Chain A
Amino acid sequence: MTVWVVTLGRLVWRQFARFPNWPADMPQTMRFAAQWSEYALYALLLTQPILGLLETNAYGDRVNLFFLGQLPALMGQNRPLAKQLAAVHETVGFLFLGLIALHASAALYHHFWCRDDTLNAMLPAGMRRRATPGRAHESRSFRRR
């Protein structure tokens, strides 16, 4: 459930935050794919915890939040529905893993193949690749070939 709250907070924060532009030479199709995989990741980050919560409730159990207290049940016990929810939760989980792998692969592709700042833009300050002197601020794409 924590990841659901974090994702919600992140989406709210994004409405007010500024963020870097796409690399200038990034093809339109790649931008489209990146944009929609981002939407899908956010959608799954919000959907999967709710599916898990409903599945837990349908099995007649309640979510104990870090041993601090139980969250209220959203639905009553319903074993047949619980089994269906478990199957959906598992399928969505594997879909989510696939998207994460795709997202990480794309980030590594940009970093090591395209050598642009797509991954650098998200890395903590101490882990960023150093900019080539004289080219750090010259282009929108931040390319450093």
Chain B
Amino acid sequence: MLRADGDPELRVFDPMIRSLHWLTLFLVITIFGLAFSIEFGSSRGRPLRSSSCIARSA
């Protein structure tokens, strides 16, 4: 279990976990933002090669 043995003295997650959490959120927002913009853009026939590349990379 991921949080079965929490430390009662600890008030916050360690800095690495917090950094990775917010980095994950940033990446997920980027991916969904690009995915929806590609979906919207492709219906208008715009070139979306770079957006697709960034979305897939992220």
Give A21 to B33 CA distance when docked, in angstroms. 34
Q: Is the CB of A21 within 8 A of B56?
A: no
Give A6 to B16 CA distance when docked, in angstroms. 11
**Chain A residues whose C-beta falls within 8 Å of the C-beta of B54 in the assembled complex:** 66
* Contact A39/B2 with A6-B24, A121-B12 known, Cβ cut-off 8 Å: yes
Q: Is the CB of A64 within 8 A of B18?
A: no
Main secondary structure of the interface of B (DSSP, over half): helix
Q: Could you tell me how many residues of chain B have their Cβ less than 8 Å away from some Cβ of chain A?
A: 29
Total number of A-B contacts with CB less than 8 angstroms? 96
The answer to the question of A109 belonging to the interface, with a C-beta cut-off of 8 Å to chain B, is no
**Chain A residues whose C-beta falls within 8 Å of the C-beta of B6 in the assembled complex:** 19-22
20 pairs from A and B in contact (CB 8 Å cutoff): A3-B28, A3-B31, A6-B23, A6-B27, A10-B24, A19-B6, A19-B17, A20-B6, A20-B7, A21-B8, A63-B57, A66-B53, A93-B32, A93-B35, A117-B12, A120-B11, A121-B12, A122-B13, A122-B21, A128-B12
Which residues from chain B sit less than 8 Å from chain A, CB to CB? 1-3, 6-8, 10-14, 16-18, 20-24, 27-28, 31-32, 35, 53-54, 56-58
